Amino acid sequence: MRLVLLGPPGAGKGTQASAIVKKYNIPHISTGDIFRENIKQGTELGKKAKEYIDKGLLVPDDIVVSIVKDRILEEDCKNGFLLDGFPRTLNQGEALDDELSQMNLKLDKVININVEKEVLIERTIGRRICKDCGATYHIKFNPPVKEGICDNCGGKLYQRDDDTQETVEKRIEVYQKQTKPLIDYYTKKGLILNVDGTKKISEIFDEIVEALEG
């Protein structure tokens, strides 16, 4: 099963990704994780990527595509993979298709988790994180027993600096602008699986599995 996972920030991609890779026994490939690993290991690609990241610039597509290609060629991807965070743009999507076709491979589905902008904002600005153990809460949907205190370890809860309405709106806007042409591209290819991300977590997962296996 070769899959791509799309969805705006706050759509719950991480939760679904964990469930999908467990069910299908495929690796979860996050470009962010790959960059961090390559930088840590001091690889040539890692050094190149670091130059851009240190300057606050986006890593060019050719470097991102090279990194993803190398990862897909690893042994644990022979039965498939779940790509998360890549592709983000139409250029990256087309480049990925080119690389896969050279390997005689193709994508099975592109899962697109849809959530309305207002819901995404409410989800994100209400998020609270424990300073000590990293547990995540939500003031409305998943509040701690005692306000501002972690149920697990008693640590203090805080709101991330970038979890403000203004920042979240900007993130969503950038995502939508970048990704709309990519979604249209995959829709024309008959690969898009649109999922309602406002349902219960288990219902979203069941819907994904049913569509993949139906």
> What per-residue confidence (pLDDT) applies to 126?
94
Active-site entry in 22, 78, 160, 189: 160
Given the residues 48, 88, 109, 123, the one annotated as active site: 88
Give the active site residue among 71, 109, 127, 128: 127
Q: What is the mean pLDDT of residues 132-161?
A: 95
pLDDT reported for residue 32:
81
Our answer to whether residue 78 is catalytic in this structure is: no
3-state SS string over 158-178? ECCCCCCHHHHHHHHHHHHHH
Q: Cα separation of 99 and 103, whole Å?
A: 7
- Domain layout of the chain by residue ranges: 2-115+173-213
Distance of CA 8 to the CA centre of its chain: 8
pLDDT band with cut points at 50, 70 and 90 for residue 35: confident
User: For this structure, is 171 an active site residue?
Assistant: yes
Rounded Cα distance between 103 and 65, Å, is 14
CATH code, residues 2-115+173-213: 3.40.50.300
pLDDT value of position 214: 83
Which residue from 37, 65, 35 is spatially nearest to 49, judged by alpha carbons?
A: 35
User: Is residue 82 very low, low, confident or very high in pLDDT (cuts 50, 70, 90)?
Assistant: very high
Active site residue 88: yes
Verify whether residue 2 is a known catalytic residue: no
The answer to whether 5 and 13 are in contact (CB under 8 A) is yes
pLDDT of residue 156: 97
Rounded CA-CA distance 189/198 in Å is: 26
- pTM of this structure: 0.84
